[in-house]
A and B are shown apart, each in its own frame.
Chain A
Amino acid sequence: MSHDHDHDNELDPFAARVRALETILTEKGLIDPAAIDVIVDTYETKIGPRNGARVVAKAWSDPAYADWLKRDATAAIESLSYTGRQGEHMQAVFNTEETHNLVVCTLCSCYPWSVLGLPPVWYKAPPYRSRAVIDPRGVLEEFGLTLPAEKKIRVWDSTAELRYLVVPMRPQNTEGWSEEQLAELISRDAMIGTAVAKAPA
């Protein structure tokens, strides 16, 4: 990258404090800078909502897997090699004709990293964290999702120990689709509950 100005380097105060922590932690042998780079790369490029979409597509296609996911989501998800780093337990919550599920973390930003990657900005921001519980229907409408008045909305508040994955309903007219094709219909937001699965094009 070329710069046509030639002022000195600057570190903003946050960047300088992070460097200071890295210096102290490396000297104490608590972190290894190379390992830090690997973690950043993993979360930026390798872990994301595609993992969760594969879990949901498998549950749509395989009733035995869906049943396992319902009973023991932690194990069912680990069987696909998506392992939580924080030792957290997973619970899969299934949307039905009667009930739509929505996930929030009112406390901070607990999120099912192993299957969805890192949370979007809005998930971490105060308005969503406070309003998802008080007015879930209004929040969903802001996401462009208007649910029938008779449909119940169940809000799940994540914790450090327990994270939730929403399993949206399988769209109609997808009989005979492969898991790979089905996964394309499952967005990150559908697995948080702020959207539903896409209809086949």
Chain B
Amino acid sequence: MSRHEGALPDDIDEPVFSEPWQAEAFAMTVALHDKGLFSWSEWADSLSAEVKKPGAASDGHDYYEHWLAALEKLLAAKGVAGKGDVDTLAAAWERAAHATPHGKPILLENDPGL
């Protein structure tokens, strides 16, 4: 079958999440909604703003990247987690991962910059 620019992605029986962080980002969103931090309409608006941006992949592989960006923006808007705080902690997590021997669980305490 010839595939063109607007082709629908192949419907392979892909797993629900392709990487663990996607499942975690999804589950955090559901948990925060259950907690009453935001309404589902607020969430849909935030997600919609991200997936509408030009450059979204036509095969949908970057869907959870948009999901994460939407969650971060909503949490920043609610004053729960500012971008600067997330940037700092994410960098610490990356350093911690790098300093953790392979096969050992990655803990934030392993960040040598701590």
Binding site for B on A (CB under 8 A): 3, 5-25, 28, 30-32, 35-37, 39-40, 43-44, 85-88, 107-110, 117-118, 120-122, 124-128, 130-131, 139, 142-143, 159-161, 189
Cross-chain contact B86 with A11 (CB below 8 angstroms): no
Among B33, B63, B92, B99, chain A packs the most CB atoms within 10 A around the CB of B63
Q: Say whether B9 contacts A127, CB under 8 Å.
A: yes
Pick the residue among A13, A22, A28, A32 that contacts B94 (CB under 8 A). Answer: A13
Which residues of chain B from 16 to 69 have a CB within 8 Å of any chain A CB? 16-17, 19-21, 23-28, 30-35, 37, 40-41, 43-45, 47-48, 51, 56-61, 63-65, 68
User: Residues of B with Cβ closer than 8 Å to A?
Assistant: 6-11, 14-17, 19-21, 23-28, 30-35, 37, 40-41, 43-45, 47-48, 51, 56-61, 63-65, 68, 71-72, 75, 80-81, 85-94, 97-104, 106, 108
* Alpha-carbon distance between A189 and B11 when the two chains are bound, in angstroms: 10
A30 with B37: in contact, given A121-B63, A159-B44 (CB under 8 Å)?
yes
CB < 8 Å A-B pair total: 190
Contacts of A15 in B (CB 8 A): 19-21
The residue on B at minimum CB distance from A44 is B16
Chain A positions within 8 Å of B6 at CB level: 127, 130-131
Provide a sorted-by-A list of 10 A–B residue pairs whose CB atoms are within 8 angstroms. Answer: A13-B90, A16-B91, A19-B21, A20-B87, A21-B81, A24-B85, A43-B27, A44-B15, A107-B44, A143-B8
Chain B residues near A3 (CB-CB < 8 A): 102-103
In the complex, the chain B residue whose C-beta lies closest to that of A128 is B8
Chain A residues positioned under 8 Å from B103 (CB to CB): 3
Pick from A5, A13, A36: contact of B31, CB under 8 Å? A36
Give A100 Cβ to nearest chain B Cβ, in Å.
18
Residue in A5, A19, A22 whose Cβ sees the most chain B Cβ within 10 Å: A19
A37 to chain B, nearest CB (A): 8
Contacts of A131 in B (CB 8 A): 6, 8
Residues from chain A with a CB closer than 8 A to the CB of B9 are 121-122, 125, 127
Whether A88 and B90, one on each chain, are in contact in the complex, defined by CB atoms closer than 8 angstroms, is no
Asked if residues B102 and A40 are in contact (CB atoms below 8 Å), the reply is: no
Contacts A16-B93, A44-B17, A124-B63 given: A8-B99 contact, CB under 8 Å? yes
Closest to A1 in B: B103
Query: In the bound complex, what is the Cα–Cα distance between A15 and B57 (angstroms)?
Result: 20
B residues near A126, Cβ cutoff 8 Å: 51, 56-58, 60
Nearest-CB residue, chain A, relative to B44: A160
Contact of A108 among B23, B27, B51 (CB under 8 A): B51
A39 with B27: in contact, given A15-B21, A86-B33 (CB under 8 Å)? yes
Query: With A22-B28, A30-B80 as given contacts, are A17 and B8 in contact (CB-CB < 8 Å)?
Result: no
Cα–Cα, bound, A178→B73 (Å): 49
Q: Indicate whether A9 sits within 8 Å of B98 (C-beta atoms), given known contacts A21-B72, A161-B41.
A: yes
Q: How far is the CA of A23 from the CA of B21 in the complex (A)?
A: 13
